[in-house]
Amino acid sequence: MSEPVLPPIGMLAELTHRCPLQCPYCSNPLELLKANRELDTQTWLDLFSQAADLGVLQVHLSGGEPTLRRDLEQLIAGLSARGVYTNLITAGINIAEGRVEAFADAGLDHLQLSFQGARPATTDRIGNHRGSHEKKLETARRARAAGLPLTINAPIHRHNIEEVPEFIDLALSLDAERLEIANVQYAGWALANRNWLMPERAAVERQAEIVAAAQERLAGVINIDFVPPDYFAIYPKPCMGGWARDAFMVTPDGTVLPCHAAQSIPSLRFERFGPRSLAEIWTDSPAFNAFRGTEWMQEPCRSCERREIDWGGCRCQAMAIAGDAAATDPVCIKSPIHARMAMLIDETRRTDANTAADDAFIYRRIGVVTEPA
């Protein structure tokens, strides 16, 4: 590496893989870890302390469902004591009375609450959990009552893309500061369910217009962040802001990864916190250095004027679709196999997916699925 390694700004901590929901696009890996593999309280606190020393300013506490960790208040307090900005990413189901207030008292800065649908029936069906919508509404109300700033997160796919206007109304009615309209990224579970999740092209275009109009109309009222579906795009996203550039994530057992899906790249070996310090892993780990900066790039990335805008796009998508983690993300129009994206979209038309039968989904669960071909 010729360029200096900059300190990380953000960290996503997957405290557990346990979750009451079974969303078919879950960003956890297909092989979920059981509770007995999770780091204990003190190890997380040590890890957070090292993260703060390293320059991490924001920690996103996620899962699975992070509130299933009984020590969550303690973990928030530990981060807060170090001045780290804490964001709790929760499904908002079955949170015991008084706990949302306890998170706020521990110093939580912000709460992000997912809604699988804007309509109760959609939320309950996608997460495969009856009554979940009502529970989420209650969590949102408790968060506001506890004075917590609120983001509503809406993961978008074929079965709820028509609900985008209703998601906007929902976020407004819950007095959220922020709404994320985030189209599902096809890695892990979402890749296994791609044929059942891929939206129609016309719906994608309509969605983009609706969101752009709402962003303008609601400036100063609510922030709407939009993550478009990249199969329909001509340039890739700068995934994670660039591989190992300013953020990383940690799995429930302390494995440190550059991104959610990094373990889908078979040539890389990832290290665990404990045997090695966070600083050693961030700076020296061969997996972190594999795609850092621009020197690893092949053509057309290598000489592209956008190479420091999108950093070659997503390595895991290159792996999944091009079969080479060092290839240009096929989302990019300059990729020699860019046409494959349109073919993959068309392929979803040929499946029986339009009938949208519930049992067509492979719901997220421990031990139900093997890697898709």
Provide, rounded to whole angstroms, the least separation between the CB of residue 83 and another protein.
6
How many helices, marked H, and strands, marked E, lie in the chain? 13, 9
| Least distance CB 156 / another protein (angstroms) | 17
C-alpha distances in Å from residue 330, one per residue of 145, 228, 251, 318, 337: 45, 16, 27, 6, 6
CB of 219 to another protein, least distance (A): 5
Q: Does the footprint of another protein cover residue 110 (CB under 8 A)?
A: yes
| Closest distance of CB 268 from another protein, Å | 27
Q: Provide the minimum distance between the beta carbon of 85 and another protein in the complex, in angstroms, as a whole number.
A: 4
How many other CB atoms are found less than 10 A from the CB of residue 292? 19
| CB contact at 8 A, 287 and 262 | yes
Q: Among 34, 42, 130, 177, indicate the residue that binds another protein (CB under 8 A).
A: 177
CB of 159 vs another protein, minimal distance in Å: 25
Sole residue written with tokens 């275009």: 205
Please give the Cα distance from 247 to 228 (Å, whole number): 21
166 binds another protein (CB under 8 A): no
Q: Does 221 bind another protein (CB under 8 A)?
A: yes
261-288: b (≥16 Cβ within 10 Å) or e: bbbbbeebebbebeeebbeebbeebebb
Which positions from 251 through 270 interact with another protein, judged by CB under 8 A?
none
Cα-to-chain-centroid distance, residue 256: 16
Beta sheet of 256-257, edge-to-edge order: 223-227, 178-183, 150-156, 110-114, 85-90, 58-62, 10-14, 247-250, 256-257
Residue 114 in contact with another protein, rule: CB under 8 A:
no
Give the binding-site size for another protein (rule: CB under 8 A). 30
Q: How far is the CB of 339 from another protein (least distance, A)?
A: 33
Site for another protein in 74-93 (CB under 8 A): 83, 85, 87
- Contact status, residue 74 vs residue 22, Cβ threshold 8 Å: no
The 40-69 contact track toward another protein, x by CB under 8 A, reads -------------xxx-xx-----------
Rounded Cα distance between 103 and 43, Å, is 20
- The residue within the footprint of another protein, chosen from 149, 165, 228, 300 (CB under 8 A), is 149
By CB under 8 A, name the one of 112, 183, 207, 255 that touches another protein.
112
Please tell me whether residue 151 binds another protein under the rule CB under 8 A.
yes
- Cβ partners under 8 Å of residue 269, min gap 6: 286, 287
Please report whether residue 241 would count as binding another protein according to CB under 8 A: no
Which of 46, 71, 105, 109 is close enough to bind another protein by CB under 8 A?
109
- C-beta of 225 vs 284, nearer to another protein: 225
Which element (helix H / strand E) includes 112?
strand 110-114
- Residue 293 binding another protein, by CB under 8 A: no
How far apart are CB 143 and another protein at their closest, in Å? 12
Give one DSSP letter per residue of 258-284, joined into a string.
Answer: SSTTGGG-TT----BBTTB-HHHHHHH
Please identify which residue in 3, 4, 147, 202 interacts with another protein, judged by CB under 8 A. 147
Per the structure block, which two tokens stand in for 88? 């709790």
Contact between 192 and 25 (Cβ < 8 Å): no
Closer CB to another protein, 279 or 326, in the complex: 279
Interface residue list for another protein (CB under 8 A): 7, 9-10, 53-55, 57-58, 83, 85, 87, 109-110, 112, 147-149, 151, 172-173, 175, 177-178, 218-223, 225
